[in-house]
Structure 1
Amino acid sequence: MPSLPTVHPRLAAHWSASRLGRFSDRLLDGDPAAGQPVLLGLLAVVGLLTWGSIEVPNWDPPSSLVFPVLIGGVLLGQVLQLLLYASVLAALVVDGFLREPFGVTPGTAVVLILLAATVLFTSRVRLRLGLRGHRAETLLLELSDRLQPAVTPGSELAGWSAAHALVPAGGARFSGDFLISCAPEYPGLHVALVDVSGKGSRAAGRALQLSGALRALLDAMPPDGFLEAANDHVFLRGWDEGFATAVHASLDPDTGRFEVYNAGHHPAARWRDRDQRWERLEEGGPALGLLAGERYAACEGVLEPGDALLLFTDGLVERPDESLEAGTGRLLEAAGSLLRDEWVLAPDAAARLVRTVAPHGGDDRAVLLLRRDPPHPLAQPPAARRDREVLGLADAAVR
């Protein structure tokens, strides 16, 4: 996902400290007192445009009043917007009586009235938030970025590589899937991949609400208590239509020992590099929020050099025209090919996996690949290299 353009910190600091910058902040934060000077300025513009339309032939058509209408819709609150639009309507009436030879055409008047009504309707969310201008959109973008981890969990561990991808449905920025991790007092790596019911922007509110709460629980709870605390938290929210599934992995990077807990989620998978095959980690419990006081058992194991863990959401494996088993097999086959080709996972490995398996998915798609780096092929004994080549050829023949 491309990053948004940013302003140089020093310039931003100078702007915020200036009188105009402070006024701009008050205006965009919805201060009614800051909107009054803007209204007066726009009323002066309306008066000037109306005078030009009447007194200066061929200089200023009445349709130029669209500009104060649009600016007022972005910067003013509802009451001040109504005052501005009333003045625009009065200006149209005055222009229609005084300007010669044609006055205001009915089409121009209808367009301006419809435009004012449209601006009032589309600004209703900003007005409910109490924000003006671009501040509401900026706030939503900042909130959506909270669902995207800045760094792939596990990618900074020595001897490990990792890649993740979060792709919302329909190309939107908001997703019902999110990935959280922490570096708590409990040693090791702790991650959770969560799928909130619904998809895209419809699930964004619940996803934003849950991401902060579950991140705090992941920081505070031991691995075997995280999903139980998360389940009770979601249950107490009492959502009428809401629940969530989650898969939680806890890993000791020094030994490779892992525990995977599942709450109604698609099973995680473990790649056994020596055998060149996937093993599904089936153990689990119900989805979060359905029943209070649930217990979640762990699937335990050890990742040897070359082994990997795969966590994913249903958008990667569910298709209307195929079974869930076939979709899961397709994903595991593609992920296995990727692990054979890359000894150390590239940062974009998960994104390429999504494009291969579900490039046009109608659901949110999320995946995390975490691998214990194998020794380089040239550093292995010849017998081990031959074993790997034979296993790879045999697997290719089966496929």
Structure 2
Amino acid sequence: MSELRDLLRMRWARLQRQISYSDGPALTFLVALALALIIAGRLAEDVVPQTSVVFAMVLASLWLGPRTLPWFVIFCLVGVVYLAAYTPDISTVTVVRVLITFAIGLLIIVTSFRRMRLGVAGPRGESMFVDLRDRIARQGAIPTLPAEWHVESASRAAGGTSFGGDFIVASRSTDGSTLELIVVDVSGKGIEAGTRSLLLSGAFGGLASAVAADSFLGDANTYLLRQEWTEGFATAIHLHLSLATGDFELRKAGHPPAVWLHAGSGRWSVLDSDGPVLGLIPGATFETVRGTLMPDDALVMFTDGLVETVDRDIASGIDKLAGRAQMLLPSGYERGARRLIDDLSSSNDDGALVLVHRRPPYAAARR
């Protein structure tokens, strides 16, 4: 009985996919709708105007694929010509209506030809991009960590779009002992950098879990060089953190340095290291900075969109970010990444930030 139920469920899912990705059902409905509008326009022209066929064409532009859509639009325009031919008195208003209908149909056909390269209708193409955007977000999702550790990430794209050139990759080792955090800034900003960040987020996510920490940036640099992009460079900062001891290794490639907030002294320090931008120099090497996060210490990694503006240099921006981060210590670092990026990010540039906090024993015990 269970096998039959599983078989029926699979057949139903397959039928749903066929309906979703096939023009057949939508085309049948639209042809019936267009015929109904044409017949109504012929029999009751005072009630149903000739331009009502535009409604069917607009629906078709949303539902039909680029190969079927032009033929349906031509079918509708033939119907408009048929209605105009049987109009008793062709006035200037009637001619203008027909011309406007043809202009809209031509615009829909041209749009369908532009979509032909993708091969899917408008909403389906949009859903693909939404899925890709969500995959980038999942790459930066922080895995489940021991109660001792609190890690947050936040990002914002230029212009308020969903795609940007800054992204975050987070990966925990199979045995759960270490955490890899990478903040990447792809050349460009907003939508123009979105396509490259889509590709790099998947590639860097795979590298983070497949190669040793000390070779990640080198392998990422080799990967970018192989792409041979005109604007194929990116900056990155990579944190390799031991969840048991708090020991970390930090490497960066042409990226702004991380800020280390010391709970014991109440001060902060900049963790800077040498390393060229990814995708420019073959065989590049990257300096390693090592340290140990003590209880209540915090580490902040970010992109230049948060600390550098046209009227502020990067050093002043880092000072401002570190000061805002220190103000989080009395109230706690919960939602600290989002608060920092809301305070510091600019609408003209992408921004991404990761906040790592090692909770003191008494706070971790309450978790």
Same fold (TM over 0.5): yes
**Residue in 1 aligned with 2:109?**
120
**Partners of 1:154 and 1:370 within 8 A in 2:** no
Residues 18 and 269 of structure 1: is their aligned pair in 2 closer, same or farther, counting only changes over 3 Å?
closer
Q: What corresponds to 2:336 in structure 1?
A: 349
Matched, 1:64 2:52: yes
Query: Would the alpha carbon gap of residues 169 and 14 (structure 1) be closer, same or farther in structure 2, given more than 3 Å must change?
Result: farther
- The corresponding residue for 1:171 is 160
Instruction: Report the residue type matching 2:167 in the other structure.
Output: F
Q: 2:16 aligns with which of 17, 21, 42?
A: 21
Aligned CA RMSD, in angstroms, stands at: 2.6
Counterpart of 1:321? 311
1:297 corresponds, among 287, 297, 307, to 287
Residue 153 of structure 1: aligned partner: 142
Q: Which runs of 5+ in 1 are unaligned?
A: 1-12, 28-33, 380-399
Q: 1:16 to 1:340 in 2, by over 3 A?
A: farther
Could you say which residue in structure 1 is the equivalent of 2:3? none
Alpha-carbon spacing, 1:362–1:18, altered in 2? closer, same or farther (3 Å)? closer
Does the 8 A contact of 2:159 with 2:190 survive in 1? yes
- Which letter maps to 1:68? A
- What one-letter code is carried by the residue in structure 2 that aligns with 1:291? I
Distance 1:282 1:79, change over 3 A: closer
Given the superposition, is the C-alpha separation of residues 146 and 20 from structure 1 closer, same or farther in structure 2, using an over 3 Å criterion?
closer
Distance across 2 between alignment mates of 1:16 and 1:68 = 32
Partner of residue 248, structure 2: 258
1:364 corresponds to: 350
Larger deviation, residues 210-219 vs 148-157: 148-157
SS at match of 2:243: coil
Identify which of 315, 322, 328 aligns with 1:332.
322
Q: Distance in 1 between matches of 2:340 and 2:325?
A: 7
- Whole-angstrom CA distance in 1 between matches of 2:170 and 2:256: 19
Q: What is aligned with 2:300?
A: 310
Residue pair 1:155, 1:162 contacting (<8 A) in 2 also: no
Between the aligned partners of 1:217 and 1:238, the Cα distance in structure 2 is 19
1:1-399 equivalences in 2 (<5 Å): 17=12, 21-27=16-22, 34-35=23-24, 38-39=26-27, 41-102=29-90, 105-124=94-113, 126-132=115-121, 134-149=123-138, 152-153=141-142, 156-185=145-174, 187-342=177-332, 345-346=333-334, 348-358=335-345, 360-375=346-361
CA distance in 2, matches of 1:148, 1:23: 29
Counterpart of 2:279 in 1: which secondary structure? coil
Contact 1:183 1:190 in 2 (8 A): yes
TM-superposition CA deviations, 1:23-61 (whole Å, max 9, x none) = 41341xxxxxx44x6545534433332222122242211
Percent identical pairs in the alignment equals: 34
Q: 2:97, 2:179 → 1: CA distance?
A: 64
C-alpha deviation, 1:188, in angstroms: 0.8
C-alpha distance in structure 1 between counterparts of 2:158 and 2:178, whole Å: 32
Distance change >3 Å, CA 124–CA 178, structure 1 → 2: farther
Structure-1-length-normalised TM-score: 0.82
Deviation at 1:114, TM superposition (A): 2.4
Q: TM-score, normalised by structure 2?
A: 0.89
AA paired with 2:68?
L
Kept in 1: contact 2:159–2:348 (CA 8 A): yes
Structure 1 residues 19 and 256, CA gap change in structure 2 (3 angstroms): closer
CA drift of 1:102 comes to: 4.8
- Letter in structure 2 aligned against 1:182: S
Give unmatched runs, 5+ long, in structure 2: 1-7
CA contact (8 A) 2:245 2:292 kept: yes
Change in CA separation of 1:179 and 1:151 when aligned onto 2, cut-off 3 Å? closer
Distance 1:281 1:171, change over 3 A: same
Q: Which moved more, 1:144-153 or 1:231-240?
A: 144-153
- In structure 2, give the amino acid aligned to 1:117: L
Instruction: Please give the alpha-carbon distance, in whole angstroms, between the structure 2 residues aligned to 1:376 and 1:262.
Output: 33
Residue 276 of structure 1 deviates from its aligned partner by: 1.1
Query: For 1:348-386, what per-residue CA distance to the aligned partner results, in whole angstroms no more than 9, with x for missing partners?
Result: 22111111122x431111000001113559x9xxxxxxx
Aligned residue type for 1:135: R
Contact 2:70–2:112 (CA<8 Å) still a contact in 1? no
Alignment-derived partner of residue 5 in structure 2: none
Structure 1 residues 141 and 40: CA distance shift in structure 2, 3 A: closer
Aligned residues: 356
Tell me the secondary structure at the aligned position of residue 235 of structure 2.
Answer: strand
**CA distance in 2: counterparts of 1:156 and 1:16, whole angstroms:** 40
Q: Post-superposition shift, 1:135?
A: 1.9
Q: In the TM superposition, what is the alpha-carbon distance from 1:184 to its structure 2 partner?
A: 2.8
Summarize the Cα distance change of 1:78–1:255 in structure 2 as closer, same or farther, 3 Å threshold: closer
Partners of 1:148 and 1:166 within 8 A in 2:
no
